[in-house]
Amino acid sequence: MPRVVHLLALGIFAMVTSEFVVAGLMPQMAAGLHVTIPEIGYLITAFAAAMAVGGPLLTVLMLRLRPKPALMALFAVFLVGNVLAATATGYDVMLAARVITGAASQAFFGVALSVTSAVVAPDLRGRATATVLNGLMLGTLLGLPLATFIGEHLGWRAAFWGIAALTVVAAAGTVAGVPRLDRVNGDGGVRAELRSVARPKLWLVLSTSTFAIGATFAMFSYVNPILTEVTGFAPTTVPLLLIAYGVATLVGNHVVGQFADRHALPALVVGLGLNALFLTGFALFAHVDVLAVAGLLGIGLVGVTMNPALVTRVQRAGDTGPLVNTVHGSFITLGIIIGSWLGGLLITDHGLRAPLWLGAGLAVLGLVSLVPDLRRVARRPALRHRV
């Protein structure tokens, strides 16, 4: 695997750590900015909204730049956002900082995945995508706990300064290790990118990503209270379980990456089917500690780890350009919003198991969205080796 792929993973690690850091520092930030916990929660919503809407818009501005300068420009915007967060004197400034970093993060994902596709052979793209997305898995597994630890011991501002420093390191590595590329999509240009995004088939493919990721985040958004209030684990045990979940995502991401190039569609069928079963089992047996942990780890193996196969399928339906990849990221973010928002609404009337049932339903909808491709393959057996 080219060194550049690992450097891009480092950049994504920094972005993901910044995305989740607010969730780990809510009480400290609320006290420091003199606002309520729910208002700090709105910063997470603002970051997600900026990713979904601002990311594609920022990517369009980057399309006239070569990939390497585009990456550096996005690092600069992201760095400005984190420095602004570290020095924020009030809630409004912090809100602006989160919008800036959210848009830059999503656009960086899009450009990074396009560069990854450009620097490896076509039959290695799935594995290369899995390697880049290890930055996402590690950001959840290591970045969030580390930023939270720094914030608790050195203050919440120190966590943002740490992310800013990591951004500088990742940017320096990108300068040294990313080759000069004229473009990352065969046709190139803004119009070609917009035509790719406008393809009706692509939108159906993108919906699969929304359902697949939404299914997992319906569970993950409320996993702490589910494990403590329904399963009965002590609060001190939950971080250990989340570390085990993070390890499961790393393993699953690696395995899916091995199949994504030649068997993306079968991988998604198996993954979504298993995720529906694990979520259903978790919902039914959340009160049994051993079975609850088995469900949690199973979801870790086949949940967000579908990303390499999802990315491969989207690129085949669209192209490998930055805008297609960024819009894909927006549909993934939409899944996160749907899973967490609907899950929260359902808890009020149906209890803490409700998000698990919601997740199972979303996974089934993801399977349904695969039906047109499955029918096409059934009609044309000669294409099976390409899906």
Query: What is the pLDDT tens value at each position of the chain, 387 positions in all?
Result: 778 888 899 999 999 888 878 877 877 888 899 988 778 878 887 888 898 889 888 988 888 888 889 999 999 999 999 999 999 999 999 999 999 999 999 999 888 888 888 888 877 878 888 888 888 888 777 776 777 778 778 889 999 999 999 999 999 998 888 777 765 554 456 677 777 777 888 888 999 999 999 999 889 878 888 998 899 998 888 878 888 898 999 899 889 988 888 888 999 999 999 999 999 999 999 999 999 999 999 999 999 899 889 988 888 887 767 888 888 888 988 898 888 888 888 888 898 899 999 999 999 999 999 999 888 887 775 545 555
Structure tokens at 295: 């469900």
Report pLDDT for 190.
67
CA distance 123 to 63: 25
CA distance 33 to 36: 9
Assign 233 to helix, strand or coil: coil
Structure tokens at 223: 């996993």
Report pLDDT for 341.
83
Report pLDDT for 187.
47
CB atoms within 10 A of CB 94: 25
Q: How far is CA 21 from the centre of its chain?
A: 14
Asked if residue 223 lies in contact with residue 89, where contact means CB atoms within 8 angstroms, the answer is no
Asked if residue 69 lies in contact with residue 55, where contact means CB atoms within 8 angstroms, the answer is no
Spatial CA neighbour of 163 closest among 313, 47, 330: 47
Q: How far is CA 253 from the centre of its chain?
A: 12
Q: Which CATH number applies to 3-184? A: 1.20.1250.20
Asked if residue 311 lies in contact with residue 325, where contact means CB atoms within 8 angstroms, the answer is yes
Amino acid in position 54: G
Report pLDDT for 385.
52
Spatial CA neighbour of 307 closest among 333, 283, 282: 333
CATH topology of 3-184 equal to that of 194-386? yes
Q: What are the boundaries of each domain within the chain?
A: 3-184, 194-386
Sign of CA dihedral 139, 331, 267, 341: positive
Alpha-helical segments (H) within the chain: 3-24, 26-33, 37-49, 55-62, 67-86, 91-119, 125-138, 144-154, 156-177, 190-197, 200-220, 223-225, 238-259, 264-284, 289-302, 307-317, 322-350, 354-369, 371-379
Long-range contacts of 59-66 (CB under 8 A, 24+ apart): 59/106, 59/107, 59/110, 59/111, 59/322, 59/323, 59/326, 60/190, 60/193, 60/323, 62/107, 62/111, 62/322, 63/189, 63/190, 63/193, 63/322, 63/323, 64/190, 66/180, 66/181, 66/182, 66/183
CATH class of the domain at 194-386? mainly alpha
Spatial CA neighbour of 299 closest among 279, 273, 322, 325: 279
For residue 10, give Cα distances in angstroms to 4, 116, 328, 330: 10, 13, 20, 21
Q: Which residue bears the tokens 């149906």?
A: 350
For residue 367, give Cα distances in angstroms to 57, 176, 245, 341, 342: 30, 42, 23, 22, 20
Report pLDDT for 186.
46
